[in-house]
Amino acid sequence: MPKPKIKAFVFDAYGTLFDVHSVIEKCNEMFPGKGKDISGIWRQKQLEYSFLRQLMGRYTTFFEITRDALRYACNEAGAELSNETERELLDSYLKLHHYEETEEVLMKLKSYQTAIFSNGSFDMLSPLVEQSPFASLLDEVLSVDEVKQFKPTPMSYQLVLERLGVRREEVLFMSSNTWDIAGASSFGFYTAWINRQGKGMDELGVKPDYEYGDLRGILNHVK
């Protein structure tokens, strides 16, 4: 495949730049021995609720979805969630650990447009990005909250084109989430699946253009 002429490198946030399961430590602090279970259910329901709300036409912010998913996860794990504990755990989502190569990769993309495009609402994304060491290396932080359409709907990805002023074929979109890669590929972006866990791609009729074990792989597209 000939290399595309990429003008914008666009990153999903959760699971791609930031490790969503870094909340396990805080979950274990609140509920010893239950951190892994709570984190896994929390993330699963966070995604399910965003998809279901999109289908039902009942949009709400990703913060509200994350809170509701946490309540479900704790109930499922048999962990009694107080108001104070809920606030602390939700706060941990604003302080997720970033993957170690992220800053290095963004430093090498300075001559390109770089952006985050996430289902996260700004009340989650802004503090998360600001506490990271690479906030100044991003040109834009884009949220589906601007269009009230969760990824992977085509209308959500249209926001990237409008805000960055590029064509579909000038975007390389990175995500660790297979559903996000499928949506972005279907929309017409070039896609790079950041397959950190070495899993198989979902059978959705579309495949990523590239697959890498971490973000360093995308540097193959830098001139």
Report pLDDT digits (tens) over 89-135.
Answer: 999 999 999 999 999 999 999 999 999 999 999 999 999 999 999 99
Tokens of 21: 């399961």
* Residue pLDDT, tens place only, 104-116: 999 999 999 999 9
Per-residue confidence at 151, pLDDT binned at 50, 70, 90? very high
> pTM value?
0.95
How high is the pLDDT of residue 4?
A: 77
Work out the mean pLDDT of the chain and round it to a whole number: 96
12 in active site: yes
Instruction: Please tell me which residue in 12, 37, 145, 180 is annotated as part of the active site.
Output: 12
Pairing of the two strands 140-143 and 171-175: unpaired
* Residue pLDDT, tens place only, 166-201: 999 999 999 999 999 999 999 999 999 999 999 999
Q: Could you give all domains of the chain from N- to C-terminal order, each with its CATH number? A: 8-18+96-221 (3.40.50.1000), 20-92 (1.10.150.240)
Q: Counting beta carbons within 10 angstroms of the beta carbon of residue 35, is it exposed (0 to 12), middle (13 to 18) or buried (19 or more)?
A: buried
